[in-house]
Chains A and B, each alone.
Chain A
Amino acid sequence: MAFTVRQEGNVTVVEVEGQLIVGNRQELKQRVLDELDGGGKNFAIDFSDTGYIDSSGLGVLVSLSKKIREQGGELRLAALNEDLRTLFELTKLDTLFQISDDLAGALQGF
């Protein structure tokens, strides 16, 4: 599991490779908070290469979204596979996030 952070214009893109679960959620949180402290406002998380997410991972996304909004920014999610979408639908978190089919869609309109 690994997180890759890069800039796409005015958007900070984070790729999640592997799982986003209890064992690594704090690492993702810190990486995004560091970018937020550095002036980043717009964030997109790319789940193209993500296997699964647990409730701790979902919780970190909720927490980060709130902090980013408080700073006047936005967190968008991209490229959730069918299983990941199921988790968001079961928890109704699909109503809380803007979720795009791919990263290009998430970057539009930022």
Chain B
Amino acid sequence: MGRVPDPVVVELANDISAIEKAVENFVQWCGRACPDRRRLLLNFRVGLTEALSNAMLYGNGDDPEKTVLVELSIDGGDLHVRITDQGRGFDPSSLPDPRTPDNITKPGGRGIFLMRQLMDEVRYNASGNSVTLVMREIVGRGPLRRP
């Protein structure tokens, strides 16, 4: 187990079948830095999965020729992960509430809602093709480490 550069930067192929393994790698990188297992295994794991699937399916249009960039860092005790796709972006400001009676029976529309519920902060760049997820005060015991 060795210390890895902070931030960790990984370029992922645009392949939704690889999301599970990629997320598990990031979870292990954060393991020592984030001793709160529930925040790591629920909030971070699901939030990151949502961000990656949005980037691959919608941002990159499920195009296998494209990639997704993931940058992971700890800043002042907060965990930041930025996910950037190669798409044209979108407007995340006007998404419907998936919990309303009209929307709750629809199969889609919960991804960004879940990210916002599970992470302490979710912010997009101006064009909407890059999202930063923040978990605050993770009270780390150490740096990001390669498992």
Interface assignment of A23: CB less than 8 Å from any CB of chain B: yes
- Complex CA gap A18/B19 in Å reads 13
Interface size on B, residues (CB 8 A): 27
How far, in Å, is A83 (CB) from chain B's closest CB?
Answer: 4
Contact B107 A21 (CB under 8 A): no
Contact A54 B117 (CB under 8 A): no
Main SS of the interface on chain B? helix
Interface assignment of A58: CB less than 8 Å from any CB of chain B: yes
**How many interface residues does chain A have, given as a range?**
20 to 34
Contact B113 A52 (CB under 8 A): no
Query: Which of these, A54, A86, A95, contacts B50 with CB under 8 Å?
Result: A54
Contacts of A90 in B (CB 8 A): 114, 117-118
Interface assignment of B4: CB less than 8 Å from any CB of chain A: no
The segment out of B40-48, B69-77, B128-136, B139-147 that lies at the interface is: B40-48
Contact A86 B42 (CB under 8 A): yes
Contact A59 B110 (CB under 8 A): yes
Q: In the complex, what residue of chain A is closest to B112 when comparing beta carbons? A: A55
Query: Which of these, A52, A86, A92, contacts B104 with CB under 8 Å?
Result: A92
Residues of B within 8 A of A (CB): 16-20, 38, 41-42, 45-46, 49-50, 53, 57, 98-99, 104-108, 110-111, 113-114, 117-118
**In the A-B complex, the 6 residue pairs with the closest CB atoms:** A59-B107, A55-B110, A22-B53, A55-B111, A63-B107, A92-B99
Residues of A within 8 A of B (CB): 1, 18-19, 21-24, 51-56, 58-60, 62-63, 66, 83, 86-87, 90-93, 95-96
